[in-house]
A and B are shown apart, each in its own frame.
Chain A
Amino acid sequence: AQRVTQPEKLLSVFKGAPVELKCNYSYSGSPELFWYVQYSRQRLQLLLRHISRESIKGFTADLNKGETSFHLKKPFAQEEDSAMYYCALGAAGNKLTFGGGTRVLVKP
C-alpha cells in the first residue's frame, strides 16, 4: 500500500525566513512525487514534481529515496506563499495518493 505523511499540519514563519515542509512516503515501487498548492479560494494546482527537478516560485524539492522523503523548501518565504500544501505520490495504475496537507502562514 502507498502512503504519504505530512507531519506538520501548520507552519507559521515570518516573511523572509526559510520554510521547509516535510513529506515522507511509503511505496514499494518506483514513486512519482508531486507538491500541490491550494491558495485561498482557488483550485488545487500543481506546484512542482520531482522528475522535472525544477524550481517554481522559489520552491525546490529533492526526492531522497533512502529516507523516502520529498521535502519542500524555500529559502525566503513571502506572504503570498501562505496556502495549503499537499504532497502527493503517483503509483502504478495512475493511483495518486495525497498527504494530509500542511497549512503555511507567512507573517509580515
Chain B
Amino acid sequence: DGGITQSPKYLFRKEGQNVTLSCEQNLNHDAMYWYRQDPGQGLRLIYYSQIVNDFQKGDIAEGYSVSREKKESFPLTVTSAQKNPTAFYLCASMDRGPGNTIYFGEGSWLTVV
C-alpha cells in the first residue's frame, strides 16, 4: 500500500525532552514537508526538503530540526527549545515540479505534559 506513514500517532513528552516524529514515504517523491496544524491558524510550514541531503527552514523552524539522509525518510525532532510544542504535526511529500500534488500523512499528535 503506497503512501506516507507517520509515527507515532499520539505522543506525550515531558517538558525539557526532545522527541522525534517519523515520516516515511514509498511514493519515490523528491520533496518532503513538515507542517504544524493549530486550531484557527491553518498549516504552518516548519521545514521542507527538495532532495536528499538538503532541507530549508520554513516559516516556523525555531525549536525544530530535521534530517534527510534517505529519500523516503524525513524525521522531525521537536527540541526542548520549542516553546509551545503541543500541536498536530503533518508530514507530506510531492514529486518535484510545478503544479504537482502533495500527499499528506495522517498526522501525529504531540502533547507536552
Contact = CB atoms under 8 A, between A and B. Distances in A.
Interface in B28-75: 31, 33, 35, 40-45, 48, 50, 56, 58-59
A97 B45 contact: yes
Number of chain A interface residues as a range: 20 to 34
A52 B48 CA distance: 25
Contacts, number: 55
Contacts of B94: 94, 96
Interface in A65-108: 86, 88, 90, 93-101
Given A32-B99, A94-B96, A100 B104 contact: no
Nearest to B58: A95
Interface of B: 31, 33, 35, 40-45, 48, 50, 56, 58-59, 90, 92, 94, 96, 98-99, 101-102, 104-107
7 closest Cβ contacts across the A-B interface?
A100-B42, A98-B43, A101-B42, A44-B104, A51-B99, A94-B31, A46-B101
